Amino acid sequence: MEPSEYLACLGRGVDVVPSDPEFLEWLVSVGVDVRTRAYFAAGWAAESDGMIGTGYPLTADAIMATAHDEPRWLRHGFLLIGSCGNGDPVAIDVRDQGAICFLSHEVLWPDDEADPREWSVIVAAGLGDFVKLAWDLDACPIDFWDARPDDGA
């Protein structure tokens, strides 16, 4: 996806500002892939009260603060960038070349010992794909449980 298309999709629900150099350098330090950093460089949510599809983005400052205050997520390779409408975290998987995942808040919030890798599901190959998918309300899952493949249980 070209940056212009990414910005058009992102801008449907939030005010968009270019990311500052400090945030972009920080993204390098936590292992975010070059493709995802390019999207962030083009722009990201100016405030957390907008929407991306049915979810809510964190601002760049809030992304960094969350990573600092809750290091559990980065230890497991996830950078939280927002939440689904029900509170499930939306994260970049820094171990999987920027795939976007939903994590189960019902399992992970109350249990610090639960492995986030076991309670995550990939919903998009990357940030650009996710921002586009999020506006396809018929195709985009609304939370972890909606995105989780049916395992026959």
Q: What is the pLDDT of residues 23-35, one digit of tens each?
A: 999 999 999 999 9
Tell me 52's DSSP state. B
pLDDT at 142: 94
Residue 66 Rama label (left phi>0; alpha psi -120 to 50; beta): alpha
Give the tokens for residue 32.
Answer: 């975010």
What distances in angstroms separate CA 85 from CA 29, 89, 126, 147, one per listed residue?
29, 9, 20, 13
Q: What is the pLDDT of residues 34-90, one digit of tens each?
A: 999 999 999 999 988 788 888 899 999 999 999 999 999 999 999 999 999 999 999
- pTM tops 0.85: yes
> How far is it, in rounded angstroms, from Cα 147 to Cα 54?
14
Other C-beta atoms lying within 10 Å of the C-beta of residue 56: 19
Read off the pLDDT of each residue in 115-140 and give the average, rounded to a whole number.
95
Strand partners, 84: none
